[in-house]
Amino acid sequence: MHIPTCDTHTLAVTPFAQALEEALRPNPSYDVSRWLYVPNTYTGYRYLLGTRGKRPLICVGINPSTAAPDALDNTLKSVERIALGNGYDSFLMFNVYAQRATRPDDMERNCNPTLHAENMAAFRYLLEQSQEAPSIWAAWGAIIEKRNYLADCLRDMAQLGDAYGARWYSAGARSKKGHPHHPLYLRKDSPLDPFDLSSYLLSFEKESR
C-alpha cells in the first residue's frame, strides 16, 4: 500500500517532457515497446501508465495507486479488459490528480500547481496520440468529491479535450449525482456509453454550492 509520506509540494517534481524522454529509453524492469510508464521509476506521483497501440482508450481516474508495468492492480486489470472488449487495442491510464495514494482520503489537502500543470502536459500528450478523435473513459466515481480542487483539475481537462475533439464515455451505472462508475467490479463486457462532460460539470457545480 502506498501512503504518502509528504505533500508533493516538498518534492522535486520532474517535468513531464523530461519524464517522458526518460520513459522512452530501454528499461531493464519492463518492455518499453509494450508499456508507457511516466515517470519510469516508482515515485510519489505518476503521470501515465498503459500499453502502446494505434487505437488507445484513455481511462481517467482520480489518482494513481501502486500499479506499474507487469504489476497492474485490480482496477487497471479491469480497465484493460474493458478497453479490449470495446475494440481498442490498448489502454492509457490517466488521473485527474497525479499524486499516488492508495486511499483517496490520503491525498494532499491543497493542489500542487506545479504537479497539476505537468499532469495537464501529460494529458495533452495523450490526446495527441490518437489517430482519430481521442476516446476518453470517465471512470472516477464519487471519489471526485474527496477534494475541492479535483473538479477544477477536471475542468482544465475538459478544455483540452474540447480542443482535440475528444469523445467522452462512461461504463456501468452512474450514481444519483451523475458520477461515472469506477472501473472496479464492472463486467468485462461492459459497453461504453456517451458521457456529456459539460452537462456533468454544470450539475456537479450546482450540487457543490
The whole-number pLDDT of residue 206 equals 61
| % of residues, the chain, pLDDT over 90 | 81
The whole-number pLDDT of residue 203 equals 85
Residue 205, pLDDT above cutoff 80: no
**Residue 185 confidence class, pLDDT cut points 50, 70, 90:** confident
**Residue 209 confidence class, pLDDT cut points 50, 70, 90:** low
Q: What is the DSSP string of the chain?
A: ----SS-GGGS-PPPHHHHHHHHTS-BTTB-TTTEEEESSS--SB-SEEEE--SSEEEEEESS--S-BTTB--HHHHHHHHHHHHTT-SEEEEEESS-B--SSGGGS-SS--HHHHHHHHHHHHHHHHH-SSSPEEEE--GGGGGG-THHHHHHHHHHHHHHHTT-EEEEESPPPTT-PPPPSTT--TTPPEEE--HHHHHHHHHHHH-
The whole-number pLDDT of residue 208 equals 59
- Mean pLDDT lowest for which of 17-21, 36-40, 200-204? 200-204
pLDDT in tens, 139-183: 999 999 999 999 999 999 999 999 999 999 999 999 999 999 999
**Mean of the pLDDT values across residues 94-107?**
93
The whole-number pLDDT of residue 3 equals 65
The whole-number pLDDT of residue 34 equals 97
Q: Mean pLDDT for the chain?
A: 93
The whole-number pLDDT of residue 175 equals 94
The whole-number pLDDT of residue 165 equals 96
Look up the pTM and report it.
Answer: 0.94
**Residue 32 confidence class, pLDDT cut points 50, 70, 90:** very high
C-alpha cell at 120: 495537464
- Could you tell me if 39 and 46 are in contact, meaning their C-beta atoms sit under 8 angstroms apart? yes
**Residue 11 confidence class, pLDDT cut points 50, 70, 90:** confident
Residue 133: C-alpha distances to residues 3, 56, 57, 64, 90 (Å): 36, 11, 11, 25, 15
